[in-house]
Structure 1
Amino acid sequence: MNQNQTKKTFKEKWNDYFARRRYYIALEEQAKQDKIQAKREKEMQKQLEKDQKAQARRDKVTWYKKVKWAIQDFFHKINNSKPVVKVKDALSFVPRKLTRNLTHRKKKALWGVVFVIPLIIGFGYFFLIPFITTVFYSFSHIQTIGLNPVTGDNMGVITENIGFDNYQFVWNQHSTFRQRLLTSFGNTLLEVPLVLIFSLIIAVVLNTQFPGRSFVRAVFFMPVIFNSQAVEVAMKTGAELTAATAETTSTMFQGGFDFSFFLLEAGVPGGVVTFLGNVTSSIYDVITYSGVQILIFLSAIQSVPKHLYEAAKMEGATQYEIFWKITFPMVSPLMLTAGVYTVVDSFLRSDLLSILDYYSVNNFVALTGGLGMVTAHGIHAAMSWLFCLSSIILISLVLIVISRVVFYYDE
């Protein structure tokens, strides 16, 4: 009997212990919930006070608003005055007569065509005609007639079809064009993934909350401003000092540590060492020319619906899973835009442009092998087309590769 009573007492104590434990856990959870609720109410109160202050500032009549209202009232009176109304009626008389029997949809389509006509004219005159002209010039011997002795105007050019002589000179006989074209193609092919990966990582970091975020964003976009043509012309006076500083710095680092030699001595294959050497040597260029891509990815990340992140956090997803399952698929469509921009920007910084500028003058070049003479204008056109074709090929490769990982949320 005493033994049964002892067993029962032990069981009751055990149950009482777990009951108290559950009670204390419930109290802790309730305290946490109360603290979270108090914090939310405090934040809501702060936000409400902030909104009230902002609304009070908007409702306050300042001198700026008075001047703005006076200007608006002045232009409103002028716009509704009788002379202006008569002028508008006279100008709109003919369009009203022409579109009197048209439906609203057709009127909208007609006005759309009217607004597109200047763009079509500009595209045809400034792009399409020169584009087609360079095709003929690349297969022609071009000679200028000269200047008009009276007016001093250019009297035109004489063209003669010479087949592929211009292309043969550019590809086979020019000393540096083919090498520089292939080098630019390879550097761009290497630079595109590096710039895209670096830009996406920096955009994710800049999207987080930390002190000085606006300053860091400005720092990453500053190279885009400093690499503009206006700043480059303004800073040409310091080009020699910059070159001397860069040479001294590179010599100092090379003397301190040779990364490629270290990898070769460690038994790393030569191809891998070359790739890693090119990557490390282009780090500065990657950082310098990633400003626009960072802004593209940052705007894409900020446009991702917030409820996707909230649902993922409620399901217990980690930051790693959120990035690969939500952030990366949602920003992938803009990788096409960033990739094409990177290719175009890389080719615009290529050394080939200096060669093209060299052949922009009118002179003659003798072809070896008895093929006659070719002109600088024909060589310039052939180089431009080879440059254009290489850009198109690289852009097509980028679009094909990136389109395989693109995810469209609406679909």
Structure 2
Amino acid sequence: MTPTKKVNTDALQAAVDARQQQRDAQKNNNNKPSESKQEDGEDEAQDAEEEEEERPVATLSSCVDLDAIEDDELYYVGTAGVKVTHLDALEKLVGLQRLHVRSNLLRSMASVATLTRLEHLELYDNQIEAIEGLQSLVQLKVLDLSFNEIRVIPDLSHLTQLEELYVANNKLKKISGVQSLKNLKKLDLGANRLRTIEGLDGLSQLEQLWLGKNKITAIQGLEKLTKLKIISVQSNRVVTIKGLENNVALEELYLSHNAIEKIENVDDLTNLTTIDLAGNRISAIPTGLAPLTLLEDFWLNDNQVAHFADVEHLVPLGGLRTLYLERNPIAQDFEYRKRVEELLPELDQIDATPTTKARRGRILNFKQVQLLCSNLQVS
């Protein structure tokens, strides 16, 4: 099979030589007397940028022999070596279905417009400021533009086949442009500057919504997302659990590191298998969790639970296997683990440590395997 990409070594060497000449010229300039001293405590981010600038840069066609590509996929990562600054000559790759250009220095993605058969586009970790060039990419199913400099998502209604959209770690202040993506199943807008959840009503097929590390204060606008299975609003400013009453298909709920004081409004979410409420201000475990019979993992570490009577409220949850309560006042009790195991004997793990039952089970399984191996050797 023809390799996905073939490196043009002559072009690379030329780029390296050119960059070396620039460095030499810069060094000569640095030897001249400076008019002012550099301030003490220079920001480490600036040092990283300067180091980045020292690396050789080039266009995509100078790093990859585009004429030699016969497969439907092109993958170029710039974490080491030459950084690509421009996506040029893509008109040669009209049959391309998957394009990955990660960790480079791209500022524009407009040239992807010629790749009309593209199904998977990943331009993760670049310097792209605007989403463009997608008007003719109607077959696109996956679009990953995480770790860029994007401030606005334009109208993407023409991407009718899009199933996964990742625009995490950008500079978005508002959710826009996605309202008409009827086939979207996964949306990741984590680590932006969002303050409200909005513009998602039309995402009737959405199954996963990732909104961690924003500035969101309330869960809202999700009433029509009845197929939602996973939602993450970790590391935000949420103060109450509400707005999920209609999301009865939810299986995983991640609300760690917020300002929540009370566990409420989850008793109707009977498909939940995981609840993460670590790092909040919760002081009590309510009695109304009995309907959550499928719950397996419950993370309540780094809260304010102080009484073992609260742990008793978890007894009806027969499927519970993992419970995190470390760094709560209750965990300071000398017999903390013993008492939790007595109350919830079906647990396999308390905090990061297996329970006595789980350890015994592993020993028993090991002995059974040993016995089986011995019998096989004898026979």
TM-score range for the pair, normalised by the shorter chain length: under 0.3
- State the TM-score, normalizing by the size of structure 1: 0.19
Which structure has greater helix proportion?
1
User: Could you say which structure has the larger radius of gyration?
Assistant: 1
Which structure has greater strand proportion?
2
Larger RCO: Structure 1 or Structure 2 (Cα < 8 Å, ≥ 6 residues apart)?
1
- State the TM-score, normalizing by the size of structure 2: 0.20
